[in-house]
Structure 1
Amino acid sequence: MTGSLRLLGGRLPGEDGLVDVSIVDGVIVAIDARGASDGGAPAASAPAPAQRTAAPSPRDAEHIDLGGRFLVPGLWDNHVHFSQWAAVSRRLDVSAAGSAAETAQLVLQACRAAADGASGAAGGVGTSPGAMIVGFGFRDGLWADEPTAAVLDAVAGPRPVVLVSGDLHCVWLNSAALAQFGRAGHPTGVLREEEAFAVHRALDDVPAETVDGWALDAARAAAARGVVGIVDLEMAWNPEVWSRRAAAGHDLLRVEFGVYPQHLDRAVAEGLRTGAPLVRAGGTDDDLIHVGPFKVITDGSLNTRTAFCFDEYPGLEGRADSHGLLTVAPDELRALLERAVAAGFVPAVHAIGDHANRLTLDAFEALGGGGSLEHAQLLAETDLPRFGQLGVTASVQPEHAMDDRDVADRYWAGRTGRSFALASLLAAGATLALGSDAPVAPLDPWVMMAAAVGRARDGREPWHPEQRITAADALAASARGRDRVRVGDVADLAVTDADPLASSAESLRHMPVALTLLAGRATHRAL
């Protein structure tokens, strides 16, 4: 219970006039035109007075003056890797490198900084020669030169170096790191898909108190952008992670955590099911943390050229992997999903290439529909209507289109009109859920909305502008379908300085957030 709160002098996007909003025990009980609770007329956008619960007396409630700012539903990021996102700021940023040689120079600078004792400049690496450098963000899809272990050996010597690709599906190691991770003698030093994920899991072996401190910082930053909830799809055994964080007082976000195939037996044995609250020590339910979906990864990614496609990748013709990689066979996928659904899980399936998406939709159809398709980056035209027909949510990351437009133009040439096809999905009756896939893109729903609305960034012309969606649709897709604030809603809210429905795409990207409420409790306040 959070008591009573009144938000005074706010605005509802797209509406005229000021409103006062009354919240009791975390629920919106009234939305009044300014002065209506003292005898004035109700706001045109508010429910009829008969639908209103009696507002608390002003003397019994805390008051916050919104000063004419705009009140919107609290935002969700529907696809994150939260611990990895929390760790990224402690890693060497190599995202600006345009070649293997440029990346190596950034590693060289980090090695020199570490040798001089400036560990912070080296992405948190220690100063001993054996301390590992971990970097993040390289994208080699358009590089003219090849990333190899030898390139990193030349600048790092015996110091282990692990560089994680911007799409998370690839890691680039030098010889020292290859030996450390049991891959000595690897011909290139570039590991993809499951081999890369094994390195990710090893990198996640950070003391719990350290990574939980990073996670709390990340949660504060998310709340400052109006975020009230996340779907955390880390590959860890997440009940343990979030139980620990809840016990330590992490209470800034709602969390739905995913379960992966390697943990399905344990999850079923412990009675977990999608939507169930986390059971805290002592047997009480946690009202913020719930079991999320059952996550399966069926193919790779575009930048790593492992997304499974009907067409071959240019330059890879004739190779066994020329169409990308299918990491879960159709029969295996169906069996996994059937078992998970029978145990009470809602499936969330990663598919990026058009062939992987077709096979995933086939599996959903065999199940009778439902679930979410994560990414859905390249789709056959005939598969678009199946989302609406099957009730499959398209869980999409619009900022990826801004990151990937050039590599898509090269490797998906002639098909990009059906890539990141948000408008086409909506027109076909799909439900959209926007996310970041952080750390692949920033955990910031305003960045996602800007990309969905504008299809442009960095002063460039819009990329396939026919796939733009409206700000109203983008907001709803970032707020669990809530397109506006209503009486009876849980008071998960954000307050912005400008009207999101009347803002340009660039303004959305940098939208100032003055207040975030989680069930009426402030998790961020800048007014």
Structure 2
Amino acid sequence: MVSRSTTRLVNLVYPIPETKAGFNLESPTMKKILTACLCATFSSVATGATLIHNINGYTLNNGELERFQAMEFEDEKITAIYPDEKAFAKSDATQRIDGEGATLLPGLIDAHGHVGGYGKALSSVQLTGVESEAAAAERVAAFAADSDNPWIMGRGWNQVLWPDKQFPFKQSLDEASTTRPVALFRIDGHALWVNSRALELAGIDATTPDPEGGQILRDAAGQPTGVLVDNAMNAVKAAFPPVTDTRTAQYLHTALSQLASYGLTSTHDARVDAQTVRAYQLLADEQNLPIRVYGMLDVLDPKNDGYLQDGPMIAPGHMLDIRSVKISADGALGSRGAALAADYSDQPGQKGLLLLSDQTLKHHISRAMAAGYQVNTHAIGDLANTRVLDFYESLIKEHDSAALRHRVEHSQILRVEDIPRFKQMGVIASIQPTHATSDKNMAGNRLGKQRLVGAYAWKSLLNAGTKMAGGSDFPVEHPNPFYGLHAAVTRQSQDDKPVGGWLPEQKISREQALSLFTEGAAYAAHQETVIGRLAPGYYADFILVEQDYFAMPEKAIWESKVLETWVAGKRVYAAP
């Protein structure tokens, strides 16, 4: 463990999350969050330069690996990198930290997550990994018994993991609660499982038509089953009780503190509504953001129009930059909402959902580009990806906006002929390696062998010269970036399956994987000159890790243990 004899008390106030709404301060998750917050309170503030030595240091320089044994920083920024002991002997740093042989890496960046959703997930019913509909309902009933919330909320169910692989029914949740509404998001956030009370409050019954870009699943008699896909979820969402800005800020802070414990020093928050912007600004004004945030405005929230009109918001220290928008072109593969050019292989007649008409999608892309915002469009299916690239091609020329570095979020199922278009247009592929290992057991059934050639094709994109960024899509996937590094390198789940990796021709090197979560993610946020690597003049965003990422067995990468996380020269997390 790293010596902390040189650290001093820093005056930071980290609010402890409320014990209501499902928070359990005795739970392992909450203990970790509180530990992170307490450690951050004792973060280091240097009165002069600080030297951290006796480390196994790595950084990337345009993809090339560089090693060092010591690093010096003063206030927020790095002042020197020392390749060996002889070199750092020249340092006149007044404070010195013995790294005790730990590995030091650039702070990791998650280029696609949902911070507010993650914060809420930490305080609601946890259904990730639950193995049946009945087990999920039991967990809901247990949570409801200990909660007085007007709504029972949760997330994480995945019917693909269940024995019958079928979508669940409202009756199971009615047994858990008939008086309070229950709303449980699927793991990908693109389907919602609700009870009868929630359907009643949303005004959904047998006569309710499917909305454009959405589907109400129905039984043989035409009655809603309790599962709503994509835009069909909106009626239930509209019935959710309001949340205050202060409460939203607490959700955000809880999530960001937890992210720091996994070695993340920055995250890109995909789809930020106006209330979330205000909550972030509250935290920023109090200097209470544990890690950096790069926000993507929800272009469909009319209350964000004022921010669009005013132009990008770039903070002097880059703790809170909001200079992009998020648009969704289609749904997700697991709920068969991803828009495909041909039928799903396991459900003939179903091609998925386009969430916006061509006219509406083009309008929002165009107005965001005109306002000087980077456009980040969710596209999973091959039809959606082609459609987005087509609109980008014409509108980038119209607005002369290539310098804004527009992105396709997920870039998941591509026609082979679309892969070179990313580089040709300067469009970034923002990908999530753990989606490949999570989807491997159902993607083949959904797509068939032929379409897998361009699916989760990270190596093919890199070989084509595409600029890429890596993330997790938390809370859809676990936010630990070492899970993503492991998935990118091995193409295996954490139980080492399948042997040799899934679609092994798409494996990438450890350097390429690390670049996704450092240099690549920084470039995708227009921040590559200040974060994403360790060099003089860059912010001192770094992590100390117990294992050597480049020397450890690749199958064990996901087990890497973060010892400390530093942002702008301040320690924001230390392992208990």
* TM > 0.5: yes
CA gap 1:273/1:470 in 2 versus in 1, 3 angstroms: farther
Secondary structure of 1:364's counterpart equals helix
Equivalent residue runs for 1:501-512 within 5 Å: 501-512=550-561
CA offsets, 1:96-147, max 9 Å, x none?
344xxx32343235425644xxx1xxxxx328xxx43222111224744442
Give deviations 1:190-241, integer Å, cap 9, x for gaps: 1111222554565583344444334323222211222111111244213212
Q: Report the AA paired with residue 116 of structure 2.
A: S
Q: Is it true that 1:76 corresponds to 2:114 in the alignment?
A: no
Equivalent residue for 1:126, pick from 135, 145, 148: 148
Deviations 1:325-383 (A, max 9, x none): 11123343233222211111010000000011011111111113440100011001001
Q: Could you tell me which residue of structure 2 aligns to residue 228 of structure 1?
A: 265
Deviating more after overlay: 288-297 vs 493-502 = 493-502
Q: 1:17 & 1:442 partners in 2: Cα distance? A: 29
Equivalent residues in 2 for 1:406-425 (5 A)? Answer: 406-414=441-449, 415-425=451-461
Among 224, 229, 240, the residue aligned to 1:187? 224
Note the C-alpha offset of 1:504: 3.0
CA distance in 2, matches of 1:396, 1:197: 26
The SS at the match of 2:281 is helix
- Paired residue type of 1:178: L
Count of residue correspondences: 485
2:137 aligned partner, one-letter code: V
Give the 3-state SS of the residue equivalent to 2:58 in structure 1: coil
Structure 1 SS opposite 2:96: strand
Ranges in structure 2 where 5+ consecutive residues have no aligned partner: 1-44, 60-64, 207-222, 521-527
Which structure 1 residue ranges, 5 or more long, are not aligned? 40-54, 120-124, 279-284
- Find out whether 1:174 has 2:184 as its counterpart: no
Correspondence for 2:121: 88
Letter in 1 for 2:505: E
Identity within the alignment, %: 28
Amino acid at match of 1:374: E
SS at structure 2 position matched to 1:480: helix
**Conserved 8 A contact 1:494-1:513:** yes
- Residue number among 539, 542, 545 corresponding to 1:493 in the alignment: 542
TM-score when normalising by structure 1: 0.85
Deviation, structure 1 residue 430: 0.8
Equivalent residue for 1:67, pick from 100, 123, 141 = 100
Equivalent-residue separation in structure 1 for 2:58 and 2:537 (angstroms): 18
- Deviation of residue 253 (structure 1)? 0.9
Per-residue displacement from partner, 1:240-298 (whole Å, max 9, x unpaired)? 12112223442211111111222467445664434x325xxxxxx66411113111100
Cα distance between partner residues in 1 of 2:306 and 2:249: 26
For each residue in 1:461-489, what CA deviation from the matched residue of structure 2 results, as whole angstroms up to 9, or x when unmatched? 12111111111111111013377532332
TM-aligned CA distance change 1:365 to 1:110, over 3 Å: closer
Once the two structures are TM-superposed, the CA of residue 313 in structure 1 deviates from its matched residue by: 1.4
Task: Report the AA paired with residue 372 of structure 2.
Answer: G
Instruction: Report what 2:419 is aligned to.
Output: 384
Question: CA 1:114–1:356 in structure 2 vs 1: closer, same or farther (change >3 Å)?
Answer: closer
CA deviations over 1:49-88 (Å, ceiling 9, x no partner): xxxxxx5x23xx3221111222211111111110110111
Within 2, Cα distance between the matches of 1:194 and 1:76? Answer: 30
Is this contact kept in 1: 2:262–2:480, CA < 8 A?
yes
In structure 1, the partner of 2:376 is 348
CA RMSD of aligned residues (A): 2.6
Q: Distance in 2 between matches of 1:215 and 1:295?
A: 18
Name the SS of the counterpart of 1:500 in structure 2.
coil
Alignment of 1:20 with 2:66, yes or no, is: no
Asked if 2 retains the 8 angstrom alpha-carbon contact of 1:104 and 1:155, the reply is no
> Counterpart of 1:310 in 2: which secondary structure?
coil
SS for the counterpart of 1:405 is helix
Partner of residue 19, structure 2? none
Q: Which segment is superposed worse, 397-406 or 323-332?
A: 323-332
**Match in the other structure for 1:405:** 440
SS in 2 for 1:291: strand
How far, CA to CA, are the matches of 1:390 and 1:432 in structure 2?
13
For 1:464, the equivalent position in structure 2 comes to 503
1:435 aligns with 2:474: no
SS of the counterpart of 1:262? coil
The farther-off stretch of 291-300 and 85-94 is: 85-94
Q: Match of 1:213? A: 250
CA contact (8 A) 2:381 2:412 kept: yes
Letter in 1 for 2:388: T
Determine helix, strand or coil for the equivalent of 2:484. Answer: helix
The counterpart of 2:80, out of the listed 8, 30, 40, is 30
TM-score (norm 2): 0.78
Instruction: Say whether 1:357 aligns with 2:385.
Output: yes
Deviation at 1:453, TM superposition (A): 0.8
Q: CA deviation at 1:184?
A: 4.6
Q: What residue is the counterpart of 1:122 in the other structure?
A: none
